[in-house]
A and B are shown apart, each in its own frame.
Chain A
Amino acid sequence: MVASREEMMRQMRRPRLWQRLTAGDWAWAALVALATAGTFQVLGDVMNGYEVVITLFTAGMMIGIGWHWSASKIYMAAVCALSLFAVMRYPTLEVAQTDFFLQYLLASQSAIMWMSALFPAATLVYGISLFTGNVFTGRVASTLTWFGAGAGMVGLLVRWHETHLFAGGIGYIPVSNLYEVFVLFAVITALIYLYYEKAQQTYSMGFFVLLVITASVGFLLWYHFDRGASQIEPLVPALKSYWMKIHVPTNFIGYGCFAIAAMLGVAYLIRARVPDDSKWAQRLPTLKQIDDVSYRSIALGFAFFTVATILGALWAAEAWGAYWSWDPKETWALIVWLNYAAWLHLRYTKGLRGTPMAWWAVIGLFVTTFAFLGVNMFLSGLHSYGEL
């Protein structure tokens, strides 16, 4: 037995973060650092202070997420590499019509179309996997989802470049109209789902979550073909703000989480009606899994939605002159927030579980959808961009 207490503590200490990191983790950090340095090398002189901070923050997040979630490293690296490849083939907008890679794969419209095909395909395959209980099929569906999320992300990043190719200095981050945020929503929801899929080691939730993503893809396609919404248009001055770069993505993490929780609510309601000894009980996710992921995603969503609403208030203070104007969008954000606060309280302090909470989460999605879409369609206000 080792004699000294210090010695013993040293031996038993929980490995520190840097001791737990693998060589792959270090390589990842180095890669991100290198890419960030490269970014500053190329774009440094056109960035302002905020953009430098946001870039550094993004790099930090990418490293952290990569360490925490191994599969995401490949995703981020592939998305960045493909986007970079596309951007380098893109001296002017016209090239998109002639360059093979751009035309069929990587121009934002093409990439987003790929996304729009891959997500429904993934939904179908998840459905088959759920129906047959076949694990391999589930793995295929999961891969399709990764690819869909990748295509969507590449589409957005390349679109960012495309906005800058337009005449007259239009360039903006593509999270500023409904078309763009729908892509963002699909990608973010898919990624959050993939994280929980890995954590829970089951493909059985995929079908439910992918349904809502497919629904948003359906809306996106309608919006694209019927309304020509994919057109790049200049921003109104109020949207030209660095706040937008952080406010909108933060918000959509919230929306994505709430959507996942709602679809799991549906899964819960179905599973709760299935007798425990039936074959469906084997194939559907367990009530415990659903409950767990629902709580975790509502908590994550609530945290991010809180931050997003505060960021929105800070931005409003700067653009409209008041941090809170009871504008319909703001008011509905508050309603969504209060709704999930009530959900968390019921679960946490009353210990309420099961069917009522599942119903509440499902109804929560309607509230959220109204805040996201309904407000733009039916109510007018200061958030008048992104009208239908």
Chain B
Amino acid sequence: MVQNAATVTDSPSGPKRRDKRRSGSIWLEFLGSMNLAITLLVVVSIASIIGTVLPQNNPYNEYLIQFGPFWFEVFRMLNLYDVYSAWWFLGILGFLILSTGVCVSRHIPSVWREVTRYRTHVRERSLLALSNHRRWQADCDAESAEMLADSAFRGYGYRTRREVRGDTVILAGMKGGATRAGYVLTHVAVVVIAVGALIDGNINLKIREMTGDLAIETRDLPVSQVPGESWLPPESGSFRGNITIPEGANSGVTFLQVRDGYLVQELPFEIYLEDFRIDHYPNGMPSSYESDLVIHDPALEEPIRKTISVNEPLTHRGHTLYQASFTDGGTALDLTGHILDGSGASMPVDGRVFENLRLQLGGTQRTLEIDDFQLFNVNPDPRAVERTGARDEFRNVGPSFNYTMRDDAGQAREFHTYMAPVEIDGRWYYLHGVRSSPGQPFQYLHVPADDDASMGTFLDFYAALDDPNRVEQAARRAADGLLSQMGVANPDLGERVAGTADDMITTLLDGGFGAVNRQLEARVAGSNRPEMLLEFSRSVLQRTLFEIYREVLAARQGVQLSMVQTDADQRGFFEDAMNAVSTISDYGAPVIFSIDHFDHRQATGLQITRAPGKNVVYAGSAMLTIGVFLLFYVSHRRVWALITPRDNGGADLLMAGANQRQPEAFAKEFGELADAVDQQFERDNTDRG
């Protein structure tokens, strides 16, 4: 209806049909066909979905556990663990490029005809069929009418051609041919982007791997021991690698992760990390991190110094260095291990993060793996939370480190120990976290800090509990005190009571207060006043522990036992110490550490890429953007004027126009144009038909 005349000749499918007859090449026809294009678009989509649903490039073990041996193997054969570099996926992409390429090249001639040819071969009938047309019977001569129409077209930006058929003059005009350029640009852009992406893809590696030239290394080896067939020479293609460089160290290689292993990519220069810094938000989240790099390149006279940060990479010789992550770079820790076997012994342990150490702990052996070090720990300030409910005040509780202890059976526990005491509800504790599997939260052992802000008092107290002599004496003093308070003077009874105290402490050390309670309840069951007995036993235990504590205080202060006075603070300490003793039975390691000194060393995580196809892709993207907007927002408009002289010296004028994309906008413009012509005629009193 609206654009019949135009649609038939306007669409590229018109000439295409003619091409078909001429070339007869079914293959090209198929490759450039719309159906194939749409099918390919849909197939690429579905293939891409697989890659997002199945996590890519995980360690192969995880897939094996997830799918079982059979499906693991099937999926591996289909390359589903790395879909986007699978042969079949690249094949489909290649097909899409081919198809789009064929399509666009076959259309270019017809597009060219479209934008260069003025359709002067129109008939009056087909123009009248267009919804946008208007006719006049002008008084003026044909020449003037033609000039008028031509001026109107040109005034509205059309380029025109003139043709004479008999005594009729045909003016054909058009504008907006850029939309056809948009079509070509869009489709060429798809090809260009895909070619760029292929340059940056790893087809080169695949071929070398197929020919046995290259082998993926799956073992965890120091760089120097990686065999030669897993090395890639510098500037040999595109890659994306990662490298961790500690402060004060350098690297001339980067590691490319490939499936379940890696390759070593040599760089044409050395990267030295001078310094690494992190800035933090008040809540402790990193707000930015940056590395001071020095690039030593034999081709340069002066090394390059540059600071890079997230979103601000450095590019050198086609390689771009990005700030990707950070880790510890092997912070040196001077630790003291306090052995919890009752000996009260301690030992110095010097290590570095990521180092494994063998420890001889009294009678047992453990492997100590130092996993990480945190320079500070920022948490919401509990005081602020309590006061105002505000979660935006924070406090820093200082450095901490993480380690794993493994016994000879391979059983491992993870620990998290703070360097400085942390205040909780007005009291200060050294926190020692422990968990038996990585997913769990840490459970903390709270060791109370003494007046010197050290763990000394507690450690002495704990050691004293294992000393039979001191326990016995303390138990005697406690029993005597208690009995005399109750008005019972019976040395024999005192002996027996002291004996149970000794017993209870042994249970306490083994299983905490829970075990003591269970033991007591079992013992009093059947007696006639169990409640009272329980109460009594607990008092004995408590007093015994307190006596031991007093004695420890006396020893530490170098005074007589009788001189020791305890204040509320010390009684609070005592409560905390009892809780800590009880918890140690669950702690699961025969040692706790204190950090005496550390030398913080960080490491930067760099991502290094070389993408020779990047500029091709960017150029394609620019073409795509321009192309799409031209395609949608410029419309190819055609107008015609037919001028036929009449016998009376006047002329018949027919003006018409067509536009496929934006019929409404065009109708408006054509209306204005025709009105402008009207006005000219009105001045001459032309009779309008």
A residues near B (Cβ < 8 Å) are 1-2, 5, 8-14, 166-170, 234-238, 240-241, 299-300, 302-303, 306-307, 310, 313-314, 317-324, 326, 328, 331-332, 334-335, 338-339, 341-342, 345-346, 349-350, 375, 379-381
Q: Is the CB of B625 within 8 A of A306?
A: yes
Complex alpha-carbon distance, A338 and B194, angstroms: 14
Shortest Cβ distance from B288 into A: residue? A237
Q: Is the CB of B84 within 8 A of A9?
A: no
Question: Which residue of the partner chain, among A310, A319, A332, contacts B310 with CB atoms under 8 Å?
Answer: A319
Main secondary structure of the interface of A (DSSP, over half): helix
Complex alpha-carbon distance, A1 and B139, angstroms: 10
Shortest Cβ distance from B52 into A: residue? A328
Complex alpha-carbon distance, A203 and B618, angstroms: 42
Task: Write out the residue numbers on chain A whose beta carbons fall within 8 Å of the beta carbon of B625.
Answer: 306-307, 310
B673 on interface, CB distance cutoff 8 Å: yes
Shortest Cβ distance from A310 into B: residue? B621
Q: Is the CB of A342 within 8 A of B38?
A: yes
Shortest Cβ distance from B154 into A: residue? A9
* Interface hits, B1-50 → A, CB 8 Å: 11-13, 34, 37-38, 41-42, 44-45, 48-49
Given contacts A8-B151, A8-B680, A237-B289, 9 further A-B contacts (CB under 8 A): A8-B148, A13-B155, A234-B283, A240-B288, A302-B632, A307-B625, A326-B56, A331-B49, A375-B52
Convert B132-148 into 0s and 1s, putting 1 for each residue whose CB lies closer than 8 angstroms to a CB of A.
00000000100010011
Complex alpha-carbon distance, A167 and B285, angstroms: 13
Convert B250-294 into 0s and 1s, putting 1 for each residue whose CB lies closer than 8 angstroms to a CB of A.
000000000000000000000000000000011101111100000
Task: Write out the residue numbers on chain B whose beta carbons fall within 8 Å of the beta carbon of A9.
Answer: 151, 154-155
What distance in Å separates the Cβ of B285 from its nearest Cβ neighbour in chain A? 6
Shortest Cβ distance from B672 into A: residue? A14
Q: Is the CB of A11 within 8 A of B157?
A: no
Q: Is the CB of A240 within 8 A of B310?
A: yes
B385 on interface, CB distance cutoff 8 Å: no
What distance in Å separates the Cβ of A353 from its nearest Cβ neighbour in chain B? 13
Q: Is the CB of B286 within 8 A of A237?
A: yes
B211 on interface, CB distance cutoff 8 Å: no
B667 on interface, CB distance cutoff 8 Å: no
Q: Is the CB of B282 within 8 A of A168?
A: yes
Question: Which residue of the partner chain, among B45, B287, B618, B629, contacts A303 with CB atoms under 8 Å?
Answer: B629
Convert B302-339 into 0s and 1s, putting 1 for each residue whose CB lies closer than 8 angstroms to a CB of A.
00000001111100000010101000000000000000
Question: Which residue of the partner chain, among A12, A238, A338, A350, contacts B677 with CB atoms under 8 Å?
Answer: A12
Task: Write out the residue numbers on chain A whose beta carbons fall within 8 Å of the beta carbon of B287.
Answer: 168-169, 234-235, 237, 240
* Partner-binding segment picked from B399-407, B578-586, B607-615: B607-615
B653 on interface, CB distance cutoff 8 Å: no
**With A234-B281, A306-B624, A306-B625 in contact, do A321 and B286 touch (Cβ < 8 Å)?**
no
Most B Cβ at <10 Å: residue of A2, A303, A338, A380: A338
Complex alpha-carbon distance, A10 and B628, angstroms: 34
Complex alpha-carbon distance, A10 and B607, angstroms: 62
Complex alpha-carbon distance, A341 and B37, angstroms: 10
B215 on interface, CB distance cutoff 8 Å: no
Query: Which 5 A-B residue pairings sit nearest by Cβ, starting from the closest?
Result: A13-B155, A321-B322, A321-B607, A237-B310, A328-B52
Q: Is the CB of A1 within 8 A of B34?
A: no
Task: Write out the residue numbers on chain A whose beta carbons fall within 8 Å of the beta carbon of B11.
Answer: 349
Task: Write out the residue numbers on chain A whose beta carbons fall within 8 Å of the beta carbon of B361.
Answer: none
B669 on interface, CB distance cutoff 8 Å: yes
Q: Is the CB of A321 within 8 A of B313?
A: yes
Q: Is the CB of A350 within 8 A of B673?
A: no
Complex alpha-carbon distance, A338 and B43, angstroms: 10
**With A310-B621, A320-B322 in contact, do A1 and B680 touch (Cβ < 8 Å)?**
yes
What distance in Å separates the Cβ of A244 from its nearest Cβ neighbour in chain B? 10
Task: Write out the residue numbers on chain B whose beta carbons fall within 8 Å of the beta carbon of A349.
Answer: 11-13, 34
* Sample (10) of A-B pairs whose CB atoms are under 8 Å apart: A236-B285, A237-B288, A300-B632, A306-B625, A318-B322, A320-B607, A322-B607, A323-B614, A326-B56, A349-B12
Task: Write out the residue numbers on chain B whose beta carbons fall within 8 Å of the beta carbon of A324.
Answer: 197, 617
**With A1-B680, A338-B45 in contact, do A306 and B609 touch (Cβ < 8 Å)?**
no
Task: Write out the residue numbers on chain B whose beta carbons fall within 8 Å of the beta carbon of A339.
Answer: 41, 45
What distance in Å separates the Cβ of B100 from its nearest Cβ neighbour in chain A? 11
B152 on interface, CB distance cutoff 8 Å: yes
Complex alpha-carbon distance, A346 and B13, angstroms: 13
Complex alpha-carbon distance, A12 and B155, angstroms: 6
Q: How large is the interface on B (under 10, 10 to 19, 20 to 34, 35 or more residues)?
A: 35 or more
B518 on interface, CB distance cutoff 8 Å: no
**With A1-B683, A302-B628, A335-B45 in contact, do A14 and B621 touch (Cβ < 8 Å)?**
no
B392 on interface, CB distance cutoff 8 Å: yes
Q: Is the CB of A341 within 8 A of B282?
A: no
Complex alpha-carbon distance, A184 and B624, angstroms: 26
Question: Which residue of the partner chain, among A12, A303, A332, contacts B151 with CB atoms under 8 Å?
Answer: A12
Q: Is the CB of B311 within 8 A of A238?
A: yes
Q: Is the CB of A1 within 8 A of B144?
A: yes
Task: Write out the residue numbers on chain A whose beta carbons fall within 8 Å of the beta carbon of B282.
Answer: 167-168
Q: Is the CB of B669 within 8 A of A306?
A: no
Shortest Cβ distance from A348 into B: residue? B11
Task: Write out the residue numbers on chain B whose beta carbons fall within 8 Å of the beta carbon of A168.
Answer: 281-283, 287
Complex alpha-carbon distance, A370 and B615, angstroms: 31
Q: Is the CB of B156 within 8 A of A326?
A: no
Task: Write out the residue numbers on chain B whose beta carbons fall within 8 Å of the beta carbon of A331.
Answer: 48-49, 51-52
What distance in Å separates the Cβ of A215 from its nearest Cβ neighbour in chain B? 24
B350 on interface, CB distance cutoff 8 Å: no
Complex alpha-carbon distance, A130 and B337, angstroms: 78
Shortest Cβ distance from B286 into A: residue? A237
Task: Write out the residue numbers on chain A whose beta carbons fall within 8 Å of the beta carbon of B140.
Answer: 1
**With A14-B669, A167-B392, A345-B37 in contact, do A326 and B288 touch (Cβ < 8 Å)?**
no
Complex alpha-carbon distance, A1 and B240, angstroms: 73
Complex alpha-carbon distance, A338 and B156, angstroms: 37
Task: Write out the residue numbers on chain B whose beta carbons fall within 8 Å of the beta carbon of A321.
Answer: 240, 313, 320, 322, 324, 607-609
Complex alpha-carbon distance, A169 and B683, angstroms: 70
What distance in Å separates the Cβ of B627 from its nearest Cβ neighbour in chain A? 9
Shortest Cβ distance from B322 into A: residue? A321
Complex alpha-carbon distance, A321 and B609, angstroms: 7
Task: Write out the residue numbers on chain B whose beta carbons fall within 8 Å of the beta carbon of A375.
Answer: 52
Question: Which residue of the partner chain, among B151, B197, B310, contacts A238 with CB atoms under 8 Å?
Answer: B310
Q: Is the CB of B53 within 8 A of A335?
A: no
Task: Write out the residue numbers on chain B whose beta carbons fall within 8 Å of the beta carbon of A234.
Answer: 281, 283, 285, 287
Task: Write out the residue numbers on chain A whose beta carbons fall within 8 Å of the beta carbon of B621.
Answer: 310, 313
Q: Is the CB of A345 within 8 A of B155?
A: no
What distance in Å separates the Cβ of A95 from its nearest Cβ neighbour in chain B? 16
What distance in Å separates the Cβ of A150 from its nearest Cβ neighbour in chain B? 28
B423 on interface, CB distance cutoff 8 Å: no
* Interface hits, B555-599 → A, CB 8 Å: none
B55 on interface, CB distance cutoff 8 Å: yes
B249 on interface, CB distance cutoff 8 Å: no
Complex alpha-carbon distance, A387 and B577, angstroms: 42
* Interface hits, B598-640 → A, CB 8 Å: 607-609, 611, 614, 617-618, 621, 624-625, 628-629, 632-633
Shortest Cβ distance from A241 into B: residue? B311
B684 on interface, CB distance cutoff 8 Å: yes
Q: Is the CB of A326 within 8 A of B84?
A: yes
What distance in Å separates the Cβ of B239 from its nearest Cβ neighbour in chain A? 10
Complex alpha-carbon distance, A302 and B182, angstroms: 14
Task: Write out the residue numbers on chain B whose beta carbons fall within 8 Å of the beta carbon of A317.
Answer: 614
Task: Write out the residue numbers on chain A whose beta carbons fall within 8 Å of the beta carbon of B392.
Answer: 166-167
Q: Is the CB of B313 within 8 A of A13?
A: no
Shortest Cβ distance from B43 into A: residue? A338
B676 on interface, CB distance cutoff 8 Å: yes
Most B Cβ at <10 Å: residue of A236, A313, A331, A332: A331
Complex alpha-carbon distance, A306 and B56, angstroms: 25
What distance in Å separates the Cβ of B93 from its nearest Cβ neighbour in chain A? 11
Q: Is the CB of A379 within 8 A of B148?
A: no
Complex alpha-carbon distance, A314 and B313, angstroms: 13
Complex alpha-carbon distance, A240 and B154, angstroms: 51
Task: Write out the residue numbers on chain B whose beta carbons fall within 8 Å of the beta carbon of A238.
Answer: 310-311
What distance in Å separates the Cβ of A38 from its nearest Cβ neighbour in chain B? 30
